[in-house]
């Protein structure tokens, strides 16, 4: 994988981003497009039609062998042994005390093969932890093999892929894996994404990724950068590592029990600690504001008493107002405010997600 002059890695689409006028920024060791001119416009394109993201910075691991599923079942928070071939599953790597080290997706590509995508910032730590927990499994880090990941998200995403491939019967259910034909060979894809919209992630080889990117843009997809990706995932109330989830937060705190399937009975790293924990005393809440965006770290107050901290904040392109998430003490009712650098301004608590999910539509 080529490196840029400041020693950060570049995705295989670096030239395409520059040609499109993207604002490039360092992110998790990579040079990535923040936007192509309008974060809000790109966000709205995903909600109304289709947007195309380069997410090739995400780390890609492959685990193979007859013991891969059993060993990963013990190494990860969620069950792998009962994950069907041809399905993706959202899960986590946990500390022994139950804290979240990372969230990730496993893709059961065969009885003896599991593909995995983890957060770019945690790539090296995740690799060290997982390989230390796997004794009889062959492990490969594919992140810098010249290929990458494209995320096509939005209500028109199926139509665009059907036009590209000439078939329309792929991935009928959310979390399905599949393959579609293309002029550049079979494309491996998953009906997954990070926007709350109907969409797909395409795992392209070094030979496929540039022409597939170019063709999807020709068909009408809008290029979308990291800025809109963060807005969209927050609107959908999807957790971001380092914000809603981190080492001091457990899946129970975060309301993500579905990501630790079988946790009450399975033997896995962090399981014993989770089973010994009391019910959480905090919960993740959503807030809307009038003018200013509540930012990470701002204190949350209820009836004048400090009760929590903002995790993430952004201006919602869909709701046309500031939105934020934050952990607060459970069961609170009253008037909420946020401390904006010494000035308390009112916020309104709202249900999550801010924008309904359509990924299963």
Q: Where are the domains of the chain?
A: 9-52+147-235, 57-141+250-277, 281-361
Of 122, 130, 126, the closest CA to residue 68 belongs to: 130
Express each pLDDT in 82-127 by its tens digit.
999 999 999 999 999 999 999 999 999 999 999 999 999 999 999 9
E strand residue ranges, 154-227: 177-180, 187-190, 199-204, 222-224
Whether residue 3 has pLDDT greater than 50? no
Q: Was domain 57-141+250-277 assigned CATH 2.60.40.10?
A: no
Model pLDDT, residue 54: 98
Express each pLDDT in 188-240 by its tens digit.
999 999 999 999 999 999 999 999 999 999 999 999 999 999 999 999 999 99
Task: Give the pLDDT band of residue 7 (cuts 50, 70, 90).
Answer: confident
Alpha carbon distance 361, 339 (integer Å)? 39
Average pLDDT in the chain: 97
Indicate the fold that domain 281-361 takes in CATH.
Elongation Factor Tu (Ef-tu); domain 3 (2.40.30)
Angular region, 194: left φ>0, alpha ψ -120 to 50, beta rest: alpha
Express each pLDDT in 29-54 by its tens digit.
999 999 999 999 999 999 999 999 99
Residues 6+ apart with CB under 8 A from 169: none
Express each pLDDT in 299-344 by its tens digit.
999 999 999 999 999 999 999 999 999 999 999 999 999 999 899 9
Residues 6+ apart with CB under 8 A from 72: 63, 80, 106, 114, 130, 134, 137
Helix (H) or strand (E) holding 45: helix 39-48
Instruction: Give the global pTM.
Output: 0.96
Answer for the pair 91, 76: CB distance below 8 angstroms, yes or no: yes
Indicate the fold that domain 9-52+147-235 takes in CATH.
Gyrase A; domain 2 (3.30.1360)
Whether residue 5 has pLDDT greater than 60? no
């Amino acid at each position: 994988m080529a490196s840029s002059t400041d020693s950060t890695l570049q995705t295989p689409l670096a030239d395409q981003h520059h040609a499109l006028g993207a604002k490039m920024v360092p992110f998790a060791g990579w040079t990535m497009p923040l936007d192509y001119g309008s974060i809000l416009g790109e966000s709205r394109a995903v909600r109304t039609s289709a947007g195309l993201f380069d997410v090739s910075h995400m780390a890609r691991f492959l685990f193979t062998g007859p013991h891969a599923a059993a060993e990963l079942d013990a190494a990860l928070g969620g069950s792998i042994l009962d994950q069907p071939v041809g399905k993706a599953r959202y899960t986590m790597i946990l500390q022994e005390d139950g804290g979240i080290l990372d969230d990730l997706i496993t893709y059961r590509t065969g009885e003896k093969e599991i593909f995995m995508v983890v957060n770019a910032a945690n790539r090296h730590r995740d690799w060290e932890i997982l390989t230390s927990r796997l004794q009889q499994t062959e492990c490969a880090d594919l992140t810098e093999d010249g290929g990458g990941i494209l995320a096509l998200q939005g209500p028109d995403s199926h139509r665009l892929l059907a036009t590209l491939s000439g078939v329309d019967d792929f991935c009928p259910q959310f979390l399905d894996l599949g393959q579609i034909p293309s002029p550049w060979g079979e494309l491996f894809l998953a009906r997954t994404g990070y926007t709350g919209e109907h969409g797909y992630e395409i795992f392209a080889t070094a030979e496929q990724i540039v022409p597939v990117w170019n063709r999807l843009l020709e068909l009408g997809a809008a290029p979308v950068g990291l800025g809109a990706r963060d807005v969209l995932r927050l609107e959908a109330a999807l957790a971001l590592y380092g914000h809603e989830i981190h080492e001091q937060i457990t899946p129970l705190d975060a309301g993500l029990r579905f990501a630790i399937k079988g946790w009450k009975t399975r033997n896995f790293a962090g399981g014993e600690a989770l089973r010994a924990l009391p019910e959480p005393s905090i919960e993740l809440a959503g807030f809307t504001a009038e003018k200013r965006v509540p930012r990470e770290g701002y204190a949350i107050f209820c009836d004048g008493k400090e009760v929590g901290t903002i995790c993430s904040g952004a201006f919602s392109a869909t709701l046309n107002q500031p939105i934020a998430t934050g952990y607060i003490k459970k069961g609170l009712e009253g008037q909420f405010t946020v401390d904006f650098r010494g000035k308390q301004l009112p916020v309104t608590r709202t249900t999550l997600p801010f924008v309904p999910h359509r990924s299963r539509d």
